[in-house]
Amino acid sequence: MFARFCIWLCVLPLLLVSASAHAVPSRGFDVLHYEVALVPDIAHKRVTGEQTVRFRAEHALRAVTLDSGALKVTAALQGDRALAFAQDEAKVHITLAEPLARGDTASVTIRYHGQPPYGLEFAPERDEVYTIFSTSQWMPSVDAPDERATLALSVTLPAGLLAAGTGRALPVRTLPDGRIEHRWQLETPMPGYVYGFTAGRYHEATQQHGATGLRFLSRERSPGQLQRVFTATGAMLDFFAARAGLPYRGDYQQALVARTIGQEMAGLSLMSERYGQQLLEDPAQTALMAHEAAHQWWGNRVTCAGWEHFWLNEGMANFMTAAYLQQAQGEAAYQAQVTIWRTRLDALRAKGVDHALVYADWSAPTGDDRAVVYQKGAYVLHLLRGEMGEAAFWRGIRAYTQANDGRSVVTADFQRAMETAAGRSLQPFFAQWVYGVG
């Protein structure tokens, strides 16, 4: 162990430089904006869509490639000109009408339809449709955490359904056939995996928390019950804003849907109806709600540049959840979370499946891989808190979050911020616990 630790100390500076320089692969273009119009068919679990993608060439460019999941692209156009395209391995390759020089901008319109196997979830028995993480399953896009763009989203639904989506809600439009077009404008560039919406025959409740409008949706819970389920939301946003050193911006919506563990989106979080019932029975069970709220800063505003640094999203959200519980429910609640993390880490080690937090092979993560990112990642932050001390640790968290607001980051960015706050090198700690197995 000691020899391996010494080797890590020797190579860590090179790893940090390499991680910062190479974490974000070049695709040849930078997406600036998506304009997406969707028509879900809830009864048949299908979707039809048309979108326009505006992008800037990063070098001479003849074609663009987007992730397209199981969608079937039927047309690609540049203005009125039809473009050649091909689909393979969940991607669509589109040949542009004319080559672009570096710095040129262009737009491509894509028409498509499909029956997504996941990512766009349908619950016909509830007249419900909602998105979960895999954005390319319902809109062709660059499905990677380092690509940030703005979004104009419209979803056409039957009358009588309520909807919530990412971005600022625009007035709905009633179409001649009686259907309703719901529209949102996301004006701050965000990674595509936090785009999304939910729609169903929901009950609705609202609150005003300072400058933030809160909205809660559920099919099974009454407005009064929704107020009880989400009673802690405002306090959570205040706590995370203080720890981040950045106020929450915009409105925040939470919905209880048919089936999900939990999913964060920009300004919107989804949890299950079952979880809502748990909160009615035991209001202290707020960890999942806090985890998704924490992502509004760590995950959405500060985002890992590649999935190998995913612990910066999920380990941080898990740790910040425990920090919130410590403030809201006391030290015992925090220590209970630490025990959960440590127990899961012990189980990983007993199985021989523990590995470093920075983990390159994220193409098909197992449940154990996810436990490393979520539970071990949070536990390592707990250890770092002890290593640095309270004042320096939280100073580092604020500096890291403020400096990287609206950016995609690698682990080296986090280490630099924490070292600056500590006033000393933390290489031995990061070598052992982040780049090593601990």
What global pTM score does this model have? 0.91
Average pLDDT over residues 2-30: 43
CATH number attached to the domain at 2-24+305-433: 1.10.390.10
Average pLDDT over residues 74-99: 96
Asked whether the predicted pLDDT for residue 8 surpasses 70, the reply is no
Average pLDDT over residues 152-164: 98
- What is the predicted pLDDT for the residue at 25? 55
**How sure is the predictor about 217, in pLDDT bands with cuts at 50, 70 and 90?**
very high
More confident residue, 370 or 418: 418
Asked whether the predicted pLDDT for residue 209 surpasses 80, the reply is yes
- What is the predicted pLDDT for the residue at 345? 96
The tens digit of pLDDT for each residue in 40-84 reads 999 999 999 999 999 999 999 999 999 999 999 999 999 999 999
- CATH 1.10.390.10 in the chain, residues? 2-24+305-433, 203-302
- What is the predicted pLDDT for the residue at 27? 86
- What is the predicted pLDDT for the residue at 12? 32
- What is the predicted pLDDT for the residue at 133? 87
Could you please state the CATH topology (level 3) that the domain comprising 29-200 is classified under.
Answer: Immunoglobulin-like (2.60.40)
- What is the predicted pLDDT for the residue at 54? 98
- What is the predicted pLDDT for the residue at 1? 34
- What is the predicted pLDDT for the residue at 26? 67
Pairwise CA distance, residues 219 & 173, whole Å: 23
Could you please state the CATH topology (level 3) that the domain comprising 203-302 is classified under.
Answer: Neutral Protease; domain 2 (1.10.390)
Average pLDDT over residues 402-427: 98
Asked whether the predicted pLDDT for residue 201 surpasses 50, the reply is yes
CA 169 to chain centre: 20
- CATH 2.60.40.1730 in the chain, residues? 29-200
- What is the predicted pLDDT for the residue at 185? 98
**How sure is the predictor about 16, in pLDDT bands with cuts at 50, 70 and 90?**
very low
| Residue recorded with tokens 């390592």 | 380
For residue 382, CA distances in Å to 51, 354, 356, 396 come to 44, 18, 16, 14
